[in-house]
Structure 1
């Protein structure tokens, strides 16, 4: 098990003081869901504040927010302990699959001409980045692709809900995209999703999006929890 002493987080830009708590929360949340702090590990608030380059005030506020989300818990004589593990991750993946697939369904029914043009441009860029094996560009384009679909769906509420189901960080995506076979799989899935949405085929868009999120989720689980085994029913049976 990795000790916190071995984990170092990037310092927060001091210019972001107006939303410092939110940035601290985002940094800690992503560190937890990317597996940098294993389940049941204790978080040292003083060290975390030093690592992030912030005072303990925004840190404590961020930890309270994480506790309200169920990712950590304050325990007597132990302090703040990480609760997030494989079983929790599986639930997040299934929630994201349900939300993203419904958003894709509605995007196929509501997409406009401007949305189509942006989606087409994004898919072309993804194909080019895949051919060049540009992991950094693929990470950015993946976010752009899903953002395009969210906007096309006109689903403000569902799009906000899905923000809490994000379980990747850039380092995890970079490892995934380092695999040529995975890059090809991802491009094929993204292309099929995009084409279905542009064609107005809501049922296909929904199904392929759901399958894509579940398959990507299984890769994430294998990377972040390689020794955990299956603690809940497999995602392939979703």
Structure 2
């Protein structure tokens, strides 16, 4: 047999890490639950090797820990999630602040175009498009901010997955509220109002994070 291309292995490892991370953050594994490598490998259709690699990365992320005689245990809970939300709010708001100061005219135009598409998707209830447009919206702000360092930090603060976003955006009232917030953030950035963009982004991330907490954890404390 020929040797595997290392890039293929890296891609598989990263895919497994993202899948398990999304499952933990999406509440599909309970706090304190033991993760069985063989069962996870069977569920994902992979060998245990990328599972082991992914679990080591998740431990580095702080989402799981290895305990003597117990194995790998989920450490993610509502308290941890709230901290992630607040950390993301701080980072995203500063990125929005800098995007308002550093954006190029064409970047502002592109952001406005994305908001217009979000408006159409909100009115039509096209949840699939809204999920993609939401990611595009935040990506455009990250690019406009020129924040390489903060951009790296924000990658560790992604607590939504597509399933959670789908639940959130399936509510017409939530869709309307989120669109209003996105439109206001885009306007502040394109107008160069850094302080307003920062405040609106922080408020948006915190509010949407509270919605996530209610969906995933309800009134549970952990």
Q: TM-score, normalised by structure 2?
A: 0.95
Report deviation, 1:117.
1.8
Deviates more, 1:145-154 or 1:113-122: 113-122
Equivalences for 1:163-178 in 2 at 5 Å? Answer: 163-178=155-170
Report what 1:4 is aligned to.
none
Q: Does 1:74 align with 2:83?
A: no
* Partner SS for 1:47: helix
Of 111, 136, 144 in structure 1, the residue corresponding to residue 128 of structure 2 is 136
Q: Does 1:160 align with 2:152?
A: yes
Report deviation, 1:62.
0.8
**CA distance in structure 2 between the aligned counterparts of 1:18 and 1:102, rounded to whole angstroms:** 32
Report deviation, 1:50.
0.9
Report what 1:25 is aligned to.
17
Equivalences for 1:16-165 in 2 at 5 Å? Answer: 16-165=8-157
Of 176, 184, 190 in structure 2, the residue corresponding to residue 184 of structure 1 is 176
**What are the Cα deviations for residues 192-234 of structure 1, in whole angstroms up to 9, with x where unaligned?**
00000000000100000000000000000000001414x7xxx
* Partner SS for 1:73: strand
Higher normalized contact order (CA 8 Å, seq sep 6+, divided by chain length): 2
* Alignment: residue pair count: 216
**What are the Cα deviations for residues 150-177 of structure 1, in whole angstroms up to 9, with x where unaligned?**
0000001101110110011111111111
Deviates more, 1:91-100 or 1:66-75: 66-75
Q: Does 1:221 align with 2:213?
A: yes
**CA distance in structure 1 between the aligned counterparts of 2:34 and 2:109, rounded to whole angstroms:** 48
Report deviation, 1:26.
0.8
Report deviation, 1:17.
3.5
Q: Does 1:207 align with 2:196?
A: no
Q: What runs of 5+ residues in structure 2 fail to find an aligned partner?
A: 1-6
**CA distance in structure 2 between the aligned counterparts of 1:222 and 1:131, rounded to whole angstroms:** 24
Over 2 Å off, 4+ runs: 15-18
**CA distance in structure 1 between the aligned counterparts of 2:21 and 2:187, rounded to whole angstroms:** 33
Report deviation, 1:16.
4.6
**CA distance in structure 2 between the aligned counterparts of 1:88 and 1:16, rounded to whole angstroms:** 33
Report what 2:3 is aligned to.
none
**CA distance in structure 1 between the aligned counterparts of 2:135 and 2:153, rounded to whole angstroms:** 16
Q: What runs of 5+ residues in structure 1 fail to find an aligned partner?
A: 1-14, 232-238
